[in-house]
Amino acid sequence: MFGKRSNDPQAPKRIAQPQAQPAPAMRPTESGKAASATPASAPPKPEPEAQPQRRHSEECYDVKTTVFNALIDTIDLTQLAKLDAAAAREEIRDIVSEIIQIKNVVMSIAEQEELLEDICNDVLGYGPLEPLLARDDIADIMVNGANTTYIEVNGKVQRTGVRFADNTQLMNICQRIVSQVGRRVDESSPICDARLPDGSRVNVIAPPLAIDGPALTIRKFKKDRLKLEQLVKFGSITPNAKTILEIIGRVRCNVLISGGTGSGKTTLLNCLTGSIDNDERIITCEDSAELQLQQPHVVRLETRPPNLEGEGEIKMRDLIKNCLRMRPERIIVGEVRGPEAFDLLQAMNTGHDGSMGTLHANSPREAIGRLESMIMMGGYTLPIRTIREMIVGSIDVIVQASRLRDGSRKITHITEVIGMEEDVVTLQNIVVFEILGEDANGKIVGRHRSTGISRPKFWDRAEYYNEEDRLAAALAGSEVVDANGNVLGEANG
Ligand SMILES: Nc1ncnc2c1ncn2[C@@H]1O[C@H](COP(=O)(O)OP(=O)(O)O)[C@@H](O)[C@H]1O
Ligand SMILES: [Mg+2]
């Protein structure tokens, strides 16, 4: 026993943390209820239904409100927060059963269980988000205010029936999430990045910046990142292109992975690091540690946002600069967003071959442009030609990831940076994905083909690492694949 009912004077007092408190007496609307009960339920009409939605009578919600309010009156939430999840659940279970008895509520065992589950989610966890967080097939969760939640499954964004009682409940949940990493989100600091205990990345932007209520975005952490073999199985890439990527990773090309949001950049970066030899010293710099390197000799670094007083920020630039004093053999940068592009290029230029990073762009050509502007953002007054020469001298390969309109993710380009013609950086595609059309189910049909380049610029490197035969064979083959990634036959590059 604990809390208000407890008379244990020893019970340690938790530091008051109002933001960590659960939603005050939530108004269990139909939506809130449905949300907790049916994970993938769809909204009443407009979007396609993922799963049939259970209907709940008004009575049900009234019962929940009654029980919930009684519970909130009975327990001491700060004490509850001290217990581990299982114990807290037990505690709630006891009290809820008691309340049900006292209030003389007639409920079946199943109904009681469901009620208990909902209440536990509201009090202890992330409320209506819980069922979504529990699903492994979801890549992103996007909450746009209390009434609208979208998820991304298999590359497709779909609306769910998940709703919050109101924006206050949603805000409380946001607050609980960010308070776990020692931050808070409110009117005075309405933007906040955080992480869930499972490693999922979270962004919150609250009113008044978010006009229609708090916007919460969660990129769910995948315990097992996809491997290259799986990308082949999904048809994101062909077996030959996989081999080419493995060689590029192994022979220490400097690689930039380009792609849109959620196109699979981090996944691809993680795959590429898979071909790094075990005896190399690797240092990773990320805003939020996502990479899962398998090698033994890895140092992982993470940036830090400023604290509440606006102090103590450690930026990506700081990390990369520090990296250079750590005798790295490879530097892996999770995402290049700003002036740190300059530092990464410098590192690549100065003997840290095989460094890699991702960047947000829609084509290899655009990636070059983005790099240029990021370097200029850093306040360098270098002539554009100098910047381009620096890019050409640093980046060997750009790999482009894309999420196509049917939701499938493809590696659409493996492209080399080969030099300059006049003032223009010259690129050379090695493998490209061509869209041929759509099948009856709206699935994009296309094929990866090699462009017929038999001696890429990194050929010498491949030779040095004894990979030239494997490379030649992979370059020579160019399969045609159907939408499911099945190899249909050979095409002439
Ligand atoms: N080729 C792929 N096929 C299917 N799913 C993929 C593929 N690449 C990535 N994913 C999934 O897509 C989601 C987003 O991938 P991620 O690499 O984090 O994207 P980005 O870093 O570009 O934002 C993840 O859930 C990941 O597992
Ligand atoms: Mg990423």
Encode pLDDT of 215-238 as tens digits: 999 999 887 788 999 999 999 999
What is the overall mean pLDDT for the chain? 83
Q: Which ligand 1 atom is at minimum distance from the Cα of 237?
A: 1
With a cut of 70, say whether residue 44 has pLDDT above it.
Answer: no
Which pLDDT does position 117 carry in this prediction? Answer: 82
pLDDT in tens, 321-350: 999 999 999 999 999 999 999 999 999 988
**Minimum mean pLDDT range among 47-51, 328-332, 385-389:** 47-51
Which pLDDT does position 390 carry in this prediction?
94
Ligand 1: residue of 267, 332, 362 to mutate (most ligand atoms within 8 A of CB) is 267
| Closest protein CA for atom 25 of ligand 1 | 139
Distance 126 CA to ligand 2 centre (A): 24
* pLDDT tens, position by position, 115-163: 888 888 777 778 889 889 989 899 999 999 999 999 999 889 999 999 9
Ligand showing the shortest atom-to-Cα distance for residue 241: 1
Nearest CA to ligand 1 atom 12: 264
Phi, psi of 72 (to 5 degrees): -60, -35
Would you say residue 466 has pLDDT above 70? yes
What pLDDT is recorded for position 244?
Answer: 96
pTM for the model stands at 0.75
Least confident range from 77-81, 407-411, 420-424, 430-434: namely 77-81
Chain segment 293-315, per-residue pLDDT in tens: 999 999 999 998 887 777 899 99
**Residues 273-283 pLDDT 10s:** 999 999 999 99
Tell me, what's the pLDDT at 302?
A: 93
Q: 41 pLDDT band (50/70/90 cuts)? A: very low
Per-residue pLDDT for 172 more than 60? Answer: yes
| Candidate from 409, 433, 448 with most ligand 1 atoms within 8 A of CB, to mutate | 409
Question: Which is more confidently placed, 418 or 98?
Answer: 418
For 353-381, the pLDDT digits (tens) are 999 999 999 999 999 999 999 999 888 88
Nearest CA to ligand 1 atom 24: 139
How far does residue 190's CA lie from ligand 2's centre (Å)?
Answer: 23
Of the candidate ranges 46-50, 87-91, 200-204, 339-343, the one whose mean pLDDT is the lowest: 46-50
Burial of 141 (0-12, 13-18, 19+ CB in 10 A): buried
| pLDDT tens-place string over residues 390-419 | 999 999 999 999 999 999 999 999 999 999
- Residue 399 near residue 414 (C-beta atoms within 8 A): yes
**What pLDDT was estimated at residue 81?**
64
